[in-house]
Amino acid sequence: MAVMMSAQDLAFGYGGKAIGQGVDISVNSGEVMCLMGPNGCGKTTLFRTLLGLLPPLGGRLEMRGRPVQAYTRAEFARHVAYVPQAGSSYFPFTVLNVVMMARASRIGTFATPSAHDRELSFAALDRLGLSHLAERSFNEISGGERQMTLIARALVQEAELIVMDEPTASLDFGNQARVLDCINELRGSGLSIVLSTHDPGHAFACADRAVLMKQGRVVADGSPSEAVTPESLHGLYGVEVAVEFMQGAGRSICAPALGRFRQE
């Protein structure tokens, strides 16, 4: 299996000050990797580094065997797409226009989208069941629909790796399920995905690998069944957690034992 992105002994942070260090992770082609950890553990800063927005402070970070720093922004955008948490836009763009913005890395920032670009955008919306929203204002649709629109935008970018920052944050139960189902469908098409989440159960729902971080370091890396255990979650969050396989759900479910927190 080909390695899409890899980090060796990576140190990352802001202004020359390391927030995390000694990180060794890799993302393979067609793999979904779920990143978890408590607030302040360095997940967002690591994501910014993986996206090339922050330079590594040490170690190596490579995309397809080539240092990330060697790519131009346009080149990098042809390989890696970013899906942020869904929020409102400051401008009343239509859903279709939000999706077509991703074609900038292919056609140039000030170029006019072609009929082909428009067709690709419609196809991505149709794939995610959003074609009926194409002419609606992005600000007028639901949070779940906005999140799916941003995923459609990433697909139109035609990148090989999609980085998703807490894609289910602030979504209701139904929309969370739809986003996780979408991630599973994308994995089946050969895309590589790295996503962060605060729900350990999401690793069992859609991930091939789970990476747990604490205080800027990776403390577990393996299949969800190997990495997401009562012991690892207890060490990560300071609370007793039950991890049980649910026959009806077809996967393991994580549930905290409330009232049994421990002080670090």
Measured CA to CA in angstroms, residue 212 lies from 87, 189, 235 at distances of 26, 26, 10
Q: pLDDT-derived band of residue 130, with 50, 70 and 90 as boundaries?
A: very high
Cα 99 from Cα 152, distance rounded (Å): 6
Contact predicate 79/63, CB 8 Å: yes
pLDDT > 80? residue 90: no
Residue 26 has pLDDT above 90, yes or no: yes
pLDDT score at 16: 87
Query: At 144, which helix (H) or strand (E)?
Result: helix 143-156
The amino acid at 119: E
Q: Are strands 217-222 and 209-214 parallel, antiparallel or unpaired?
A: antiparallel
Q: What is the pLDDT of residue 264?
A: 46
Domain ranges of the chain: 3-79+159-261
pLDDT tens-digit readout, 163-174: 999 999 888 898
Residue 262: pLDDT above 70?
Answer: no
Residue 71, token pair as written in the block = 């790519």
Superfamily name and number for 3-79+159-261: P-loop containing nucleotide triphosphate hydrolases (3.40.50.300)
Mean pLDDT of the 79-83 span = 93
And the tokens for 237? 């969050």
